[in-house]
Amino acid sequence: MSAEIFNKANALLSEIQEATPQTKDELEEYRIKYIGSKGLIKKLFGEIRHVDKDKKREFGQLANSVKKAAEAKFNELKAELEAAADQDVEVPDLTAPGEYFGLGARHPISLLTNEIIEVFNRIGFTVAEEREIEDDWHNFSAMNTPEDHPARDMQDTFYLKDSTKMLLRTHTSSVQARMMTAGEPPIRIIAPGRVYRNETISARSHCQFHQVEGLYIAENVSFADLKQTLLYFAKEMYGASKIRLRPSYFPFTEPSAEMDIYWGLKDETDYRITKGTGWLEILGCGMVDPNVLKNCGIDPERYSGFAFGMGIERQAMLKYRISDIRYLFENDVRFLKQFEGAM
């Protein structure tokens, strides 16, 4: 019986020495067959109980030599295959043209904001930005709109939960209030930013939108300065040759006006958006009310100023002929791709 078991061990050793796995899969089959937990070498060690007592030591040494031979061959073949795999790495053609990766585009709101800022930068206005969560005083009271003022009904405000003093700003005029209280004239700023009003979302209105407001305060500022500033903006932004100022009302300016530009009647869309007049309302403006200057610590006897404000969504809808304001907030890639060529 012992002779038969010794023959089996020697045959297994010869089989291992002759094995030549060529691939990783074949090498894995080799491992499982010979040195795996249920492999032939494991079974070979189990035969030791059938070996004569005086032969057990000799058989144990033979079984160990078979195991070492199998493990050594496995490690050697594994190293060879890994080295061959490293040499077979395909080198890419570095002269081949690269694959195209689509680039994003600026959002139309960003495009218009940057364009408006650039226009006013050329005549000395600097950008001022402030918080979107504002207190009641800077948003309303400082701008000549005290708590009992009827003009507060013009704006449906989002107040913070359990607070009657903190709110989401309803206009960027709060930035003007902070600039006036923090610094001394002359002040020449534009304030772009997002504002919030509790309005029903539709094709023409949204509960959040963007504004750009301007403020200029210095000695001897007149309504003529305001008119020339807005005429310059209309020419640079829209190529308009004419503007008109219509009397209006805002709590923080007196006198106040709405500015229209002559849009023209070149096509059917022009007739529709101007209601057949050729004139299009662009922004609101006026001379800063003396009460606003007093509230912010500026002497109205020495200084005067003008302010103006416009909705950026409205400007974008006019310039890019966008029919629905909701397109500007839905992040529909099909819509945004139209602006890939714009900078």
> Domain check: are 167 and 279 in the same one?
yes
The CATH number of the domain holding residue 200 is 3.30.930.10
> Domain check: are 153 and 239 in the same one?
yes
> Domain check: are 11 and 137 in the same one?
no
| Per-residue pLDDT, 337 | 82
**Does residue 24 have a pLDDT over 90?**
no
* Domain end (from 37, 58, 87): 87
Residue 319 CB coordination number (10 Å): 14
Report yes or no on 100 lying in a domain. Answer: no
Classify the phi-psi angles of 61: left when phi > 0, otherwise alpha if psi is within -120 to 50, otherwise beta: alpha
Q: What global pTM score does this model have?
A: 0.67
- pLDDT, tens digit, 9 for 90 and up, residues 287-336: 999 999 999 999 999 999 999 999 999 888 888 888 888 888 888 888 88
Lowest mean pLDDT among 22-36, 166-180, 203-217, 316-330: 22-36
Cα Rg, the chain, nearest whole Å: 41
Secondary structure letter of residue 170 according to DSSP: S
Name the amino acid, one letter, at 79.
A
Report yes or no on 92 lying in a domain. Answer: no
| Per-residue pLDDT, 33 | 80
Report yes or no on 60 lying in a domain. Answer: yes
Residue 128: which of 169, 160, 85, 175 has the closest Cα?
Answer: 175
| Per-residue pLDDT, 154 | 55
Residue 235: which of 123, 129, 124 has the closest Cα?
Answer: 123
For 267, the domain range is 108-339
Residue 26: which residues within 8 A CB-CB, separation 6 or more? none
| Per-residue pLDDT, 87 | 67
> Domain check: are 278 and 231 in the same one?
yes
Six-digit token pair at 226? 């305001």
Report yes or no on 241 lying in a domain. Answer: yes
> Domain check: are 153 and 14 in the same one?
no
> Domain check: are 181 and 217 in the same one?
yes
164-168: average pLDDT: 85
Structurally, the chain folds into a number of domains equal to 2
- pLDDT, tens digit, 9 for 90 and up, residues 1-13: 567 777 777 777 7
The CA-based angle 271-273-279, given to 5 degrees, is 80
Report yes or no on 94 lying in a domain. Answer: no
| Per-residue pLDDT, 120 | 96
> Domain check: are 70 and 123 in the same one?
no
- pLDDT, tens digit, 9 for 90 and up, residues 246-300: 999 998 999 999 999 988 888 887 788 788 888 989 999 999 999 999 999 999 9
Report yes or no on 150 lying in a domain. Answer: yes
- pLDDT, tens digit, 9 for 90 and up, residues 106-157: 888 998 999 999 999 999 999 999 999 999 899 998 998 877 766 566 568 8
> Domain check: are 187 and 67 in the same one?
no
50-62: average pLDDT: 74
Report yes or no on 26 lying in a domain. Answer: yes
Phi, psi at 148, each rounded to 5°: -95, 10
> Domain check: are 261 and 141 in the same one?
yes
- Distance between CA atoms of 3 and 79, rounded to whole angstroms? 36
Partners of residue 99 on adjacent β-strands = none
| Per-residue pLDDT, 224 | 95
> Domain check: are 23 and 132 in the same one?
no
- Distance between CA atoms of 243 and 308, rounded to whole angstroms? 15
Report yes or no on 293 lying in a domain. Answer: yes
**Cβ atoms 343, 106 nearer than 8 A:** yes
| Per-residue pLDDT, 41 | 76
CA neighbours within 13 Å on the CB side: how many for 324?
A: 9
208-218 and 304-311 strand pairing: antiparallel
> Domain check: are 256 and 132 in the same one?
yes
> Domain check: are 77 and 164 in the same one?
no
Q: What rounded mean pLDDT belongs to the chain?
A: 85
